Amino acid sequence: MDAAPSSVPSGSSPLRTRGDGSRGGRGRGPRRGRGGSLQENQSRGDRQPENQHRGGRRGGRGGNRGAFGAETEQNNLNAMDRLSLLPQIKPRPTLEKSEDKDGEEEVEAEVCFICASPVVHNAVAPCNHRTCHICALRMRALYKTKDCAHCRTPAEFVIFTDDATKRYEDFTDNDIASTDTNNGIRYEKSEIMEDTVLLLRYNCPDGDCDVACLGWPDLHRHVRAIHHKRICDLCSRHKKVFTHEHELFTDKELDKHMKKGDDNPGAVDQSGFKGHPECGFCRKRFYGEDELYVHCREAHERCFICDRRDGGRPQYYVNYPALEMHFRKDHFPCLDARCQEQKFVVFPTQLDLKAHQLSEHGDTMSKDVRRDARVVDMAGFNYRDFYVAEPRVGGSLREQREGRGRGRGRDPNTDAIPASSAQPLRRDEQAFQRQLAISSAPGESARTFGGQLTSAPIPAAARPPPDARSPPSVTVPQPTSDVAELTPQEQARQLRHGAVIERAQILLQHDQSKLGQFRNHISSFKNNSITATVLINSFFALFSDTSSTALGTLIREVADLYEDKSKADALRTAWNDWRAINEDYPSLPGPSVSSGSIPLGWAQTSSSSSTQSGAPKTSRVLKLKSSTAASSRSSVSQTRSWGTASSVASPLNPFPGLPPPSSAPPNNRTGTGKVNTIPWAPSSAVSSTPNSTPTSRPASTGPGRGRGTDMFPALPPAPKPQSTIFGYGSGMVRRDGLGGSGKAPSSPWGASGSNGGSGAASEAEGGAEDAGKGKKKGNKGKKQVLMNWG
Amino acid sequence: MASSQKRITKELAEVTSDPPVGIKVSLVDESNVHNWNVILDGPPDSPYAVCLLSHTSSSLANSKLIQGGKFKLLLVLPTEYPFKPPVINFKTRVYHPNITFDDKGSMCIGILKAEAWKPSSKILSVLTATQQLLSEPVPDDALESAIAEKFKSDRKDFNAEAKKYTKQYATGK
């Protein structure tokens, strides 16, 4: 193999040949022998593909100039322990650079422009831009965009081909072996399709594991049970990477991942990910800042006045009552009952408030009060302040207000109003305020409302969240058995035995003959006369009326009864298998499944040797993993010198996950932490979701939501009652409002989403109505109308 | 991240081996390719370049004394790069319509907008576009409307202001 440096790229060494063929072989036909030694080569070591790629590049470009070096290095690599690799790799950056310079076009032909990895298959778009098939698939399947990666031209279809030069329009229907309408991919060969489909399966991220799971829950279960690790639930839902690119964490690592990310100065595999941010109110984590922002916007409140004044960092309040407290403390809310219900009727200065009160509520004030209200209290009126203070933060305002005395300051009716000179200005302000209030109000309510609508139904449809595992532990009498274990063995066993029988009896509705069968089955399993699988099947027949959750509980209890560990495990495993196959996610691999189910639909076409497949498939999976996983690692160490043992120590790729086709709501991620707290095999519990989802839900969002609803009551079509009240003793009413407004007048009006809209409407209406009744005194009402229209 | 690191590494190699005029790149943390420190020279034809000596006293016409302002940028490449655009912030204050005049120094530039971003766009082209933006502000797409207004209405004054701030902040320190 070392002798390869012949001037002809296709030298004697099979390895060489392949390497060159795949790199330099522009238009030479099939660019690599699939399934041949290349494959072995790649699966042999994680770094292998990269070496090959480098070697190949050199060979292809300059003949043997670099080939020899590459060869020897490659061999060294093979021979060496991987740990000792890193020093070896250090000098690479220079090599890499010089090569890039003198062989630019060559490089582009063999390395994907987008991901800088060797091209395995080409993807050609109608614009005749090329990427590797992995990038194209990433764009289409994960990022859900059909735009060309180069020019953003959308294309219904791209062609996956091994021909590096053939133009898109030169492909005829005859050239296409199969088509995936879902992702818009046409395959030149079915092999390419197989390679592609492979990427979309729920492959276990463990580099040495070739298991493809049936879905996210299954995969979570698998990594938990087999590798004793976990996949970040948030990442699995949001991160746009293929399943096998997700990262596996131990519990501790996951904790760190959540809180700090991989921000670890000096480590090779860090990506700048700083952890999943947490909502300070809810203690829930979100995938990223954007998701957190959306959450805060929907679930919490912001002060529009502070926002306008300070800009910059948004300050949130946990809910409207909290925001209201802030309004009262730092701003000038209108305490009129109507405005209280409408919410967000609050002003940055007292003058604004006065103006609002005169114009909005003037018609309900008594003459005296109104006159008083127009008196400018010069003591507290700092003309400067009102221009300057606005952009300032609370301080001056508060001083101003406090100087006036709290009680009086808050009372709209006894307080003075700016003189007429100031009034016009105030009205502008006020109109603006109203607009603000109105525009923010409906937004707020609509959002809350909408949030409620959209988030609630999701859990039902969505896949079982991981926290689904906990609830069963609450409802199930299993704890008794656990407790019992603490007592002397015999006793404990008896206790458990009793519990099992009792459970079985209940489930069988005290049918003695069935109970007999049940005992028989169990004892024959104990005597090795039937296998665990058979036992499960017979249970299933026997307990046909029982929900699988209950049956699962029973089976777990039965398993606990066996002293023989292997028996118990066999039984659990069998049960898990049964569930996995029969229940959780029926879709993917079965030949019976038809298309439509996301990218995986066509798994069936390709995989006659479907999921659990045999050897050839297996090696392919591993290969694909190494091709993505390994490449990243090697790339890092290749051009740079930051080799540390860490990358090797954790052979797992530095990258995370796939957007689950069946992705669940972002809300129930609270449960992630729980996954490992469950004492039983993680697998069995997963399926119990449907009932557990609701439980987790209300806890997280319920309370806030509930309030949210009555926080934004709709306005009544005609606000008559209110206005009459004011007509009588407005001063008193106001004062009441002062004291007890914390409990915003419970709204007799039905809730509705269109808060502001109706608010505005009702005002206008109110004005009109008043006019009709001849009740309108003074010109305040007119002003108000004008303002509304203006 | 798999593909991102590889691509970033490649681009970093390209930029460091063949650095474009007026752009210097280094890593914030040697082990993390996702965060780049960039030092951008203010284009000579813009108010972001300063002549440290006044034109009249050019007895010491040393080229070192006539130079672009040194603007520090932080370029952060998301893990999804190149499928998601990089994020650039000016660490040096810039008086420019399209760059916020605060400690964040957020920049508004077409090439980095999520809806305009192409995975094929390279970091280098982003940096050159940034340079270009310094030469040619886009006042209609402004982040600092006051500065944009000044740019449109009183170019002379704008240039003077920009120069002043460049001298004050963009010292490369």
Residue A47 CA to residue A82 CA, distance in Å, equals 9
Strand partners, B73: B38, B90
Residues A295, A284 contacting (CB under 8 angstroms): yes
Of B7, B30, B31, the CB nearest to A115: B7
Range name among A230-239, A589-598, B57-66 with the lowest pLDDT average = A589-598
Q: Does A265 touch chain B (CB under 8 A)?
A: yes
Evaluate the CA torsion angle A323, A327, A333, A336 in order and state its sign: positive
CA distance B43 to chain A (A): 26
Q: Does B21 touch chain A (CB under 8 A)?
A: no
Contact B32 A272 (CB under 8 A): yes
Give the A window 532-591 contacts with B, CB below 8 Å: none
Average pLDDT of the segment spanning B46-72:
62
pLDDT digits (tens, 9 = 90+) for A307-345: 877 766 677 888 888 888 888 888 888 888 888 888 888
- DSSP string for A689-734: HHHHHHHHHHHHHHHHHHHHHHHSBPPPS--HHHHHHHHHHHHHHH
Roughly how many angstroms between the first and final C-alpha of chain A, as a whole number?
86
From the number of C-beta atoms within 10 Å of its C-beta (0-12, 13-18, 19+), residue A704 rates as buried
Residues B76, B35 contacting (CB under 8 angstroms): yes
List, in sequence order, the alpha helices (H) in A11-91: 14-23, 37-44, 48-62, 67-79, 85-89
How far is Cα of residue A178 from the mean position of the Cα atoms in its chain? Answer: 33
CA angle B118, B121, B123 (to 5 degrees): 135
Q: Which residue has the higher pLDDT, A394 or A142?
A: A142
Contacts of B34 in chain A (CB under 8 A): 270-272
Q: For chain A, what percent of residues have pLDDT higher than 90?
A: 5
Q: Which one of B83, B100, B121 makes the best mutation probe of the A interface by having the most chain A beta carbons within 10 Å?
A: B83
Q: Which residue has the higher pLDDT, B48 or A603?
A: B48
CATH number belonging to domain B2-170: 3.10.110.10
Q: Does B17 touch chain A (CB under 8 A)?
A: yes
Of A97, A265, A628, the CB nearest to B17: A97
Nearest CA in chain A to B35: A272
Contacts of B9 in chain A (CB under 8 A): 116, 635-636, 638-640
Average pLDDT of the segment spanning A110-120:
87
pLDDT digits (tens, 9 = 90+) for B82-110: 888 999 999 998 899 999 988 888 888 88
Q: Which one of B3, B9, B28, B115 makes the best mutation probe of the A interface by having the most chain A beta carbons within 10 Å?
A: B3
The answer to whether residue B153 scores a pLDDT higher than 80 is yes
Residue A270 CA to residue A474 CA, distance in Å, equals 39
The answer to whether residue A574 scores a pLDDT higher than 60 is yes
CA distance B148 to chain A (A): 19
Nearest CA in chain B to A288: B78
Q: Among all chains, which residue has been given the structure tokens 């390709």?
A: A606
Evaluate the CA torsion angle A480, A481, A486, A488 in order and state its sign: positive
Q: Does A286 touch chain B (CB under 8 A)?
A: no
Q: Among all chains, which residue has been given the structure tokens 């607009």?
A: A435
Contact A150 B77 (CB under 8 A): no
Q: Does B34 touch chain A (CB under 8 A)?
A: yes
H/E segment holding residue B162: helix B155-169
Residues 6+ apart with CB under 8 A from A668: A459, A465, A467, A693, A696, A697, A700
For residues A198-230, one letter each, b for 16 or more C-beta atoms within 10 angstroms of the residue's C-beta and e for the rest, the string is bbbbbbbbbbebbbbbbbbbbbbbbbbeebebb
Average pLDDT of the segment spanning A157-166:
90
Contacts of A150 in chain B (CB under 8 A): 118-120
CA angle B86, B87, B89 (to 5 degrees): 145
Give the A window 635-674 contacts with B, CB below 8 Å: 635-636, 638-640, 642, 644, 653-656
Q: Does B30 touch chain A (CB under 8 A)?
A: yes
Of A149, A629, A638, the CB nearest to B118: A149
Contact A628 B2 (CB under 8 A): yes
Q: Among all chains, which residue has been given the structure tokens 């009060």?
A: A369
B99 DSSP assignment: B
A385 SS3 class: helix
Q: Which residue has the higher pLDDT, B58 or A274?
A: A274
Contact A100 B14 (CB under 8 A): yes
What is the pLDDT at residue B88? 92
Supply the Cα-derived Rg of chain A in whole angstroms.
35
A400 SS3 class: helix
Residues A729, A406 contacting (CB under 8 angstroms): no
pLDDT digits (tens, 9 = 90+) for A362-398: 777 777 777 776 666 555 555 554 444 444 444 444 4
Structure tokens at A464: 């079982």
What is the pLDDT at residue A335? 83
Question: What amino acid is encoded at B10 in this protein?
Answer: K
Q: Does B58 touch chain A (CB under 8 A)?
A: no
Number of inter-chain CB pairs under 8 A, A vs B: 119
* Position A642 confidence tier, pLDDT thresholds 50, 70, 90: very low
Q: For chain B, what percent of residues have pLDDT higher than 90?
A: 14
Of A116, A152, A273, the CB nearest to B79: A273
Of B10, B34, B83, the CB nearest to A143: B83
What is the pLDDT at residue B89? 92
Question: Which whole-number Å values give the CA distances from A510 to A477, A502, A507, A518, B94, in the listed order?
Answer: 18, 9, 8, 12, 82
Contacts of B17 in chain A (CB under 8 A): 97-98, 100-101
What is the pLDDT at residue A163? 87
Q: Does A116 touch chain B (CB under 8 A)?
A: yes
Closest CA to A712 of A681, A672, A757: A757
ipTM above 0.90, yes or no: no
Residue A43 CA to residue A624 CA, distance in Å, equals 9
pLDDT digits (tens, 9 = 90+) for A256-301: 888 887 766 656 566 667 789 888 888 889 988 888 988 988 888 8
A111 DSSP assignment: B
Residue A645 CA to residue A453 CA, distance in Å, equals 50
CA angle A196, A197, A198 (to 5 degrees): 90
Q: Which residue has the higher pLDDT, B48 or B53?
A: B48
Q: Which residue has the higher pLDDT, A790 or A374?
A: A374
Residue B79 CA to residue A653 CA, distance in Å, equals 13
Following CA atoms A629, A635, A638, A639 in sequence, which dihedral angle do they give, to the nearest 10 degrees?
-160
Contact A639 B1 (CB under 8 A): no
Q: Among all chains, which residue has been given the structure tokens 């300051």?
A: A409
